[in-house]
Chain A
Amino acid sequence: MTRKVVAAGPLAWTVRPRAVAVAAGAALLLVLVAAINIGLGSSYIAVPDVLETLFGGGTAREQGIIFDLRLPRTLTGILVGAALGLSGALFQSLARNPLASPDVLGITWGAGAATVAVIVLGGYRGQVSGAVSALGVPLAGLLGGIVAGVLLYALSWRRGIDGYRMVLIGIGLSAIGYNTVYWLLTVGDVNDAARAVTWIVGSLSETSWDAVGPVLLALAVLVPIALVCGHTIGGLQFGDETARGLGIRVDAARGTLLLLGAALAAVATSAAGPITFVALATPQIALRLTRSAQPPLVGSMVLGALLTVSADLVTRLLLPELPVGVLTAILGAPYLIFLFVRSRREARA
Chain B
Amino acid sequence: MTVVATAGLAGPRRRRQRRQRRVLGLVVLVVLLLALCAASVMFGTRTIPLGEVWTALVRPNGTELDIIVRSLRVPRTLIGVLAGLALGAAGALMQGHTRNPLADPGLLGVTQGAAFGVVFAVVVLGANGLYGYIWFGFAGAMIASVAVFLLGAAGGRGATPVTLALAGAAVSALLYGLIAAVVLGNDQGMEIYRFWRVGSIAGRDFAVTGQVLPFLLLGLVLAVVNTPGMNTLALGEDVATALGQRVGRTRALGVVAITLLVGAAVAACGPIAFLGLVVPHLARAVTGPDYRWLVPFSALLGAALLLAADVLGRVLTGDSFEVGILLAILGAPVFIVLVRRKGLARI
Interface residues of A (CB under 8 A from B): 97-100, 104, 155, 158, 162, 164-165, 167-169, 171-173, 175-176, 178-180, 182-183, 185-186, 190, 193-194, 197-198, 201, 276-277, 280-281, 284, 319, 321-323, 325-330, 332-334, 336-337, 340-342, 344-345, 347-348
Contact A197/B167 with A172-B333, A175-B331 known, Cβ cut-off 8 Å: no
A99 adjacent to B191 (CB under 8 Å): no
**Nearest CB in chain B to that of A327: its residue:** B177
Note all chain A residues with C-beta closer than 8 A to B339. 165, 168-169, 172
A179 adjacent to B336 (CB under 8 Å): no
B180 adjacent to A173 (CB under 8 Å): no
**Nearest CB in chain A to that of B277: its residue:** A171
- What are 11 A-B residue pairs whose CB atoms fall within 8 Å in the complex? A155-B340, A171-B277, A173-B332, A176-B328, A176-B332, A277-B173, A319-B181, A323-B180, A327-B177, A329-B174, A337-B166
CB distance from A335 to the nearest CB of B (A): 9
Note all chain A residues with C-beta closer than 8 A to B166. 98-99, 284, 336-337, 340
Binds A, one of B7-15, B157-165, B245-253, B288-296: B157-165
B184 adjacent to A276 (CB under 8 Å): no
B325 adjacent to A179 (CB under 8 Å): yes
A281 adjacent to B154 (CB under 8 Å): no
**Nearest CB in chain B to that of A349: its residue:** B155
Given A99-B166, A182-B198, A332-B173: 6 more A-B contacts, CB < 8 Å: A280-B169, A326-B181, A333-B171, A336-B170, A337-B167, A340-B166
A340 adjacent to B102 (CB under 8 Å): no
Question: How far, in whole Å, are A242 and B329 apart by their CA atoms in the complex?
Answer: 39
Note all chain A residues with C-beta closer than 8 A to B157. 348
For B127-160 the 0/1 string (1 means CB < 8 A from A) is 0000000000000000000000001001111000
CB distance from A327 to the nearest CB of B (A): 7
Question: Within the complex, which residue of B155, B178, B194, B277 is in contact with A182, where a contact is CB–CB below 8 Å?
Answer: B194
Note all chain B residues with C-beta closer than 8 A to A180. 329
B100 within 8 A of A: yes
Question: Within the complex, which residue of A167, A190, A348 is in contact with B102, where a contact is CB–CB below 8 Å?
Answer: A167
| Residues 302-347 (chain B) with a chain A CB within 8 angstroms | 321-322, 324-325, 328-329, 331-333, 335-336, 339-340, 343-344, 346
Note all chain A residues with C-beta closer than 8 A to B344. 168
Note all chain B residues with C-beta closer than 8 A to A332. 170, 173
B274 within 8 A of A: yes
Question: Within the complex, which residue of B183, B325, B332 is in contact with A183, where a contact is CB–CB below 8 Å?
Answer: B325
Contact A337/B169 with A175-B273, A176-B328, A179-B325 known, Cβ cut-off 8 Å: no
Question: Within the complex, which residue of A194, A319, A328, A344 is in contact with B190, where a contact is CB–CB below 8 Å?
Answer: A194
Contact A178/B273 with A186-B322, A276-B173 known, Cβ cut-off 8 Å: yes
How many A-B contacts are there with CB distance less than 8 Å?
167
Which of B157, B166, B187 has the most A CB atoms < 10 Å from its CB?
Answer: B166
Question: How far, in whole Å, are A193 and B336 apart by their CA atoms in the complex?
Answer: 29
Note all chain A residues with C-beta closer than 8 A to B101. 97, 164, 167-168
The number of chain B residues with a CB under 8 A from chain A is: 55
A169 adjacent to B329 (CB under 8 Å): no
Note all chain B residues with C-beta closer than 8 A to A186. 194-195, 198, 322
Note all chain B residues with C-beta closer than 8 A to A330. 174, 177-178
Question: How far, in whole Å, are A172 and B336 apart by their CA atoms in the complex?
Answer: 6
Question: How far, in whole Å, are A230 and B138 apart by their CA atoms in the complex?
Answer: 45
B184 adjacent to A333 (CB under 8 Å): no
Question: How far, in whole Å, are A318 and B185 apart by their CA atoms in the complex?
Answer: 15
B278 within 8 A of A: yes
B176 adjacent to A99 (CB under 8 Å): no
**Nearest CB in chain B to that of A164: its residue:** B346
B176 adjacent to A347 (CB under 8 Å): no
Question: How far, in whole Å, are A168 and B185 apart by their CA atoms in the complex?
Answer: 36
B281 within 8 A of A: yes
B156 adjacent to A176 (CB under 8 Å): no
CB distance from B190 to the nearest CB of A (A): 6
**Nearest CB in chain B to that of A347: its residue:** B156
A190 adjacent to B191 (CB under 8 Å): yes
A201 adjacent to B333 (CB under 8 Å): no
**Nearest CB in chain A to that of B147: its residue:** A337
Contact A179/B329 with A169-B336, A194-B190, A322-B184 known, Cβ cut-off 8 Å: yes
A193 adjacent to B165 (CB under 8 Å): no
B102 adjacent to A97 (CB under 8 Å): yes
Question: How far, in whole Å, are A168 and B184 apart by their CA atoms in the complex?
Answer: 32
B233 within 8 A of A: no
Question: Within the complex, which residue of B170, B177, B277, B346 is in contact with A325, where a contact is CB–CB below 8 Å?
Answer: B177
B103 within 8 A of A: yes
